[in-house]
Amino acid sequence: MKPAVPAIRSRESQSRVTRRQSLGAGAAATLAAARTLAPVLFTGCSLGLPARARPIMLGLLHSQTGTLAISETSVRDAEILAIEEINAAGGVLGRPLEFRCPDPKSRAADLFPKRARHLCEEDGVAALFGCWTSTSRKAVIPVCTEFDRLLFYPVQYEGNESASHCVYGGSVPNQQILPAVDWLLSSAGGPRRRIFLVGSDYIFPRTANFVVKKHLAARGIEPVGEAYVPLGHRQFRGVVEMIGASRADAVLSTVNGDSNVALFEEFAAAGIDPEKVPVISTSIGEDELRHLAPREVAGHYAASSYFQSVATDPNRDWVGRFRREFGYDRVTSDPMEAASTLVHAWKAAVERAGSLDTAAVRQALSAGIEVPGPGGPFRIDPKTQHAVKRFRLGRIRLDRQFDIVHESAATIEPDPYPQSAFPGWKCDWTKGGLEQGPEVRIDGDV
Amino acid sequence: MDAPSLSLVPHDWFWLYDIPTHRLAMLFVASFVAFYWFGCVFLRPILRQFVKYNAGANDIIGYVLSCFGVFYGLLLGLIAVTAYQNVADAGASVTREAAALSALYEDVSRYPDPYGQNLRWLLRDYTRYVIRYAWPLQRRGIIPQEGTIRVDAFHEELLDFQPGTPAQEILHAEALRQFNHFLEARRTRLFTVTSGLPTSMWYVMFLGAILTLAICWLFEMRFVTQLVLGGILAAYLGLMMFLIFDMNQPFRGDVSIPPDAFESIFQRMNEE
């Protein structure tokens, strides 16, 4: 019997792989590759693609060219810083914030509403932050109302307005100009009773001075004079002569923009001493002071709610953060502080509402929103949608900063319709909105 | 607003640039190899019918592949050089823009305040915008729009300045000249955000790759050998495609031109 010999297979036969085996291996490889690539093909998520939450778009509507650019650009920067801080802290409702920042080119009547419309219609912004002059604000509010978006307005203004789709972050006269007048009338301010009113010729100065005159009239005082000049006006000799002739012992200035340079040059040339005839300006902040010669303005005053020199830790932190981001020589001002805080207030309202819906955000605002701000706690008054503000009076220093010489003991509730000026007019958005009184006529081109 | 495309790879594929580079390379290689192996299993038996009974078919196929490979290799090589040149040009435009920006900042620093201060602020603002906002948009293939507003603001302020002395006149003329250099370099950078190879080139490259692999399917050899050798060729083709794809968009992807030049200037602007 032959021993069993193991079958010798050729090398070729040993290594031959049958078609069935190959197909099996190929199918397995294909399945393995498909398993690996499927998530990529269908979701793209397993190849290191960053997960992106849908961002919330905000509109920042500030002039970046034109006469208002320098002031408005600083406000825009404060808003950008606030947005970046919110994003660094996780965003709003778990979503990052993005912004569009078109340029309305300081053209209040035509480009502001046009850009606002584009932001609402094309960019789908959840809210708008911006405007500077009252003309621009009044032009944008109807667009916001049409598209059901809120406008957050950061600048002090004349009052006599309370729009449902606007949240006002700046002071109204009873929080800024009237306390300044009261200070002049008090022993701390003099007292001074011969007050001259000078302003640029547009809505804010005309209306603000109307309110001031009514306020003074209630105290039996009449201004010794009143003068208005066009925006951008540079010839103030006549005005200063009028002030001299009136024997005024104080000037309340609502002059805006570049005109202040010529106004204070003329004051200095006429030898008006700030100790004897102080000027209280409502539209001069740290940014505007950069354009004025310190020796010509030092000793005069500015009425505001915030100054960079406010000596609190939150303010020092904020100023430090702003300078780190935007430059060692940048300054902060009242509208910038309001703009930054408004962005945080909007965040707080959206998070309380749990939604970006404007009605829900307004509802949250009406429940009372308070956030910390550089100038102190910042609260939106639910009745008027205006900010509750503190009054501060600053004396201009040679280093273009302010010494705070007076500060209201407490925050002041906003009253866009002081009864001395607008009898019968009231606003309470928690109870139906605006209640109109008799028509009030304000002299001049308002 | 999304920038208009200047053709190129269809935008639907731009998400690929968001994948980390090493993974993108693996994806290209895996896709090409998978395609080749898929063809080996399902298409090779059909294609081989054409050459099955021809003696010396492998020699003929090898000859065809060599001829084809020369032209295709040349095409790939030239395209790779073009893509690299595109990256180099974009990098150079960034450097030129940053250098002009730095020189302009130095010039306007000599202006009297508040002009000098305003101009410095505006340039810092522009630089910050480029680093924080423009670059991420460029990485997504979008031409940043709002930098133009900042440039306009600077230009407006620059033109507002009226030199009062002969020295200021010389300085102002130099600043305007430097501003024009800056504008030119900036426009070049923005142009390269969406510039790249035309779509037709991509079609030719991909079709060429498919044909190369299809020719390999015709070879008469053991199946495993076919899988291995062809797989290596497919992997190499995938790598070449990855290289061209990655370089095609200089501002996109992990390995893209960084804003280092601007960051260095911004740091210096904030140090003063």
ipTM: 0.81
With an 8 Å Cβ cutoff, is B121 touching chain A? yes
Q: Which residues pair with A57 in a beta bridge?
A: A98
- Please say whether the beta carbons of A280 and A301 come within 8 A: yes
The closest alpha carbon to B86, from B22, B6, B146, belongs to: B6
- Residues of chain B neighbouring A327 (CB-CB closer than 8 A): 120-121, 124, 269-270
Q: Which of A17, A22, A325 to mutate to test the interface with B (most CBs of B within 10 A)?
A: A22
B125 within 8 A of A73, measured Cβ to Cβ: yes
Closest CB from B20, B222, B270 relative to A328: B270
Q: Which residues contact B261 (CB under 8 A, 6 or more apart)?
A: B94, B95, B97, B98, B99
pTM of the full structure = 0.83
CA dihedral B66, B68, B71, B76 (to 10 degrees): -100
Task: Report residue B202: phi and psi, to 5°.
Answer: -65, -40
Nearest-Cα distance to chain B for A22, in Å, is 7
Residue B250, domain member (yes or no): yes
| Cα–Cα dist A158/A209, whole Å | 9
Question: Contact, A321 vs A313, CB < 8 A?
Answer: no
Token reading at B63? 């000859």
Q: Is A46 on the interface with B (CB under 8 A)?
A: no
pLDDT tens digits, residue range B166-195? 999 999 999 999 999 999 999 999 988 888
Backbone angles phi, psi at B169, to 5 degrees: -65, -45
Q: What is the pLDDT of residue B253?
A: 75
Interface test mutation site (partner A, options B26, B29, B146, B225, max chain A beta carbons within 10 A)? B146
Measure the CA–CA gap between A96 and A105, rounded to whole angstroms.
28
Hey, is the C-beta of B235 within 8 angstroms of any chain A C-beta?
no
CA-based nearest distance A306→chain B, Å: 22
Domain count, chain B: 1
**Chain B residues in contact with A291 (beta carbon < 8 A):** 114
Between strands A378-381 and A369-371, the pairing is antiparallel
Optimal mutation site among B137, B155, B159, B224, interface A, most CBs of chain A within 10 A: B224
Q: How far apart are CA A356 and CA A343, in angstroms?
A: 14
Task: Going residue by residue through chain A, which has 446 residues, state the pLDDT in tens, using 9 for 90 and above.
Answer: 444 444 444 444 444 556 566 556 656 665 665 555 555 544 444 555 556 788 999 999 999 988 788 788 999 999 999 999 999 999 999 999 999 999 999 888 899 999 999 999 999 999 999 999 888 999 999 999 999 999 999 999 988 898 999 999 999 999 999 999 999 999 988 889 999 999 988 888 999 999 999 999 999 999 999 999 987 788 889 999 999 999 999 999 998 877 888 899 999 999 888 999 999 999 888 988 888 888 899 999 999 999 999 999 999 999 999 999 998 889 999 999 999 999 999 999 999 999 999 999 998 988 888 899 999 999 999 999 999 999 999 999 999 999 999 999 999 999 999 988 898 898 888 888 888 888 888 865 44
- The DSSP bridge pattern shows strands A97-100 and A56-61 to be parallel
Q: Do B270 and A327 touch (CB under 8 A)?
A: yes
Segments in chain B below pLDDT 50: 1-10
Does residue A44 sit at the B interface (CB-CB below 8 Å)? yes
* Residue among A13, A62, A70, A115 with most chain B CBs within 10 A, to mutate: A70
How many beta-carbon pairs under 8 angstroms link A with B?
Answer: 91
**Considering the domain boundaries, does residue B5 fall inside one?**
no
pLDDT of residue B187: 92
Residue A247 contacts B, CB cutoff 8 Å: no
**Residue B27: its chain A contacts at CB < 8 A?**
37, 40, 47
Distance CA B46, CA A59 (A): 61
* Contact A27/B at CB under 8 A: yes
Which residue in the set A29, A50, A330 is minimally distant from B18, CB to CB?
A: A50
Range of the domain at B255: 11-271
Chain A (358-397) residues lying within 8 Å, Cβ to Cβ, of chain B: none
Q: Do B30 and A33 touch (CB under 8 A)?
A: yes
Residue whose token pair is 């050729």: A10
Q: Check if CATH label 3.40.50.2300 holds for domain A56-171+312-388.
A: yes
Is residue B2 domain-resident?
no
Q: Does B220 touch chain A (CB under 8 A)?
A: no
Q: Which residues of B touch A22 (CB under 8 A)?
A: 41, 223-224
- Helix, coil or strand: residue A422: coil
In chain A, where the domains are located: 56-171+312-388
Q: Do A77 and B24 touch (CB under 8 A)?
A: no
User: Is A18 in the B-facing interface, judged by CB distances under 8 Å?
Assistant: no
Q: Does A79 lie at the interface with B, CB-CB under 8 angstroms? A: no
Structural domain includes residue B189: yes
Is some CB atom of chain A closer than 8 A to the CB atom of B24?
A: yes
pLDDT tens, position by position, A57-78: 999 999 998 878 878 899 999 9
- For residue B74 the two structure tokens come to 């040349």
Q: Does B156 touch chain A (CB under 8 A)?
A: yes
Contact (Cβ atoms closer than 8 angstroms) between residue A185 and residue A219: yes
Predicted pLDDT at A19:
56
Q: Show the DSSP H helices in B109-197 as ranges.
A: 115-129, 135-139, 146-160, 166-194
A245 contact B CB<8A: no
